Each structure stands twice: as C-alpha cells, then as structure tokens.
Amino acid sequence: MGGVDVGGGGGKRKNLDSEINMIPMIDLLMVTISFLLITAVWTQMARINADAQVPGPPRPDVEQEKVEPEKQLHVMMQGDDKFVLVWKQGSTTVDSIDVPRKDVITQQGAVQVVRYPDLAAKIETEWKAKGQHTNPTDRKQDQAILHTDNKTEFKYIIGVIDAIYAPQRDMNFGAKTDKFPAFNITFAVN
C-alpha cells in the first residue's frame, strides 16, 4: 500500500493521511495503457493539394487592371522516356527543358511507391532560377500545370506531383514562419 502524507493531523482533528491501494491503481494504469494502445492510429494519412484555378464571377463594377501574365511551369509527362518542363508566360514559351524519366518504384505491401528524384532536383533548380514568389512575406505560390495523357495511372501522377512539391520555401503567417511548397499545382484541361 502506498500512502499520501499531507502532514498534520495533530490534536483531535481527523487525520488527513490517506492510503492509495496500489493494486487497483496499477490495474487502472494498465487498462488505460491498453485502451490508448488499441485506439491509437498508426497510419499517417496526409494530403497533396491541387487547385482547379476556377476564376471568380465577373465584377463589372470593378475596373480590371492590365496585369502582365506570370510565368508558369508546365510539366509534361506524356512521354515514356522523358519529362518536358516548359516555362510559359501567357502564350509565350520562355524556356523548355528535357528531363530523362527515371521511375524509382518500390513495393510497400500492396502499394507501389513511385518517385522521381531527378525530376524533383531539376524542378527545384528551375524554381530557384526562375521562380517569382520567393519572398517569405509573399503568400502567393508559383503555378505548375501538369499535363498527362488519359491512360497514366494515378500512382505515376502522384509521383510527379510529389516531385513538383519537393521545392519548399519559407512563408510568414503572422509572427510564425512555416515551410510551404513553392508551387501550386493544377491539371491541364486538354
């Protein structure tokens, strides 16, 4: 038996010392541990963000400013042997780079994990050289547009999106600075 001594108890007052029975206490701790272990979530689900780039409703009352279109990175994954990275500003092609396609596929249970480390490295180099939103106070991200054919399986698409999300930059949220993906991704409609 364990006891809790709170001192005192002198004179005629009731003794404040109480005893804790160790056996039920250890039982309670064991049951709590078992419950928490059984209900624990061991798989870590997460998400990869994409933006459909839907324009808002037209505002006839607001005069539209003529804004120079931003550079966008188009990632073409139609070929079996290479990716093509194209920087476009409006309809003008600024630069085009071929990246050899090397699928790094690992089997994890029933799931095939597809990764493109070479593509990720090239995209990071490109973003450092040509990215427009690099300042931590800038909440806007550079835009990447993914072009894929209709037959490509989803795991390869996720592999490419994962590579596009590899370059990360600091972004200020009030007094706090967080790492955030440098690119925002959307799909090409065609």
Partner 1 sequence: MPVHEPGRSLMRHVGLEFVAKKVSGGGHRNTNANLSLTSMIDFLVVTVVFLLMTFSASGETPVAKGLNMPKAENVLDMMDAPMVAVVGSQILVDGSPAGNSRAVEESDRMQRIDELFNILKAKRELWKQTHPNKDFPGVVILQIDQNIKAVVVKSVFQTAAFAGFPNVSFMVDRIPHTGGSHG
* Contact pattern from residue 134 through residue 173 relative to partner 1, giving x for each residue in contact according to CB under 8 A and a dash for the rest: --------------xxxxxxxx-xxx-xxx-xx-x-----
CB of 115 to partner 1, least distance (A): 6
DSSP annotation of 131: -
d(CA 35, CA 103): 42
- Integer CA distances (angstroms), 170 to 29, 47, 137, in order: 43, 19, 9
d(CA 162, CA 115): 8
β-partners of residue 174 are: none
Residue placing its CB nearer to partner 1 in the complex, 52 or 175 = 52
Handedness of CA 64, 68, 70, 75 (dihedral sign): positive
Residue placing its CB nearer to partner 1 in the complex, 94 or 170 = 170
CA proximity to 159, closest of 114, 104, 107, 100: 114
Residue placing its CB nearer to partner 1 in the complex, 49 or 93 = 49
Contact 181, 165 (CB under 8 A): yes
Options 14, 18, 45, 129; binder of partner 1; rule CB under 8 A: 45
Does position 98 interact with partner 1 (CB under 8 A)? The reply is no
Options 12, 13, 46, 65; binder of partner 1; rule CB under 8 A: 46
Does position 84 interact with partner 1 (CB under 8 A)? The reply is no
Does position 107 interact with partner 1 (CB under 8 A)? The reply is no
Does position 112 interact with partner 1 (CB under 8 A)? The reply is yes
User: Which amino acid type is present at position 148?
Assistant: T
Residue placing its CB nearer to partner 1 in the complex, 6 or 22 = 22
Q: Considering only the C-alpha atoms of the chain, give the largest distance between any 2 of them, rounded to a whole number of Å.
A: 95
Q: Residues interacting with partner 1, by CB under 8 A?
A: 2, 22, 25-26, 29-30, 32-33, 36-37, 39-41, 43-54, 108, 110-115, 117, 120-121, 124, 148-155, 157-159, 161-163, 165-166, 168, 181, 187, 189
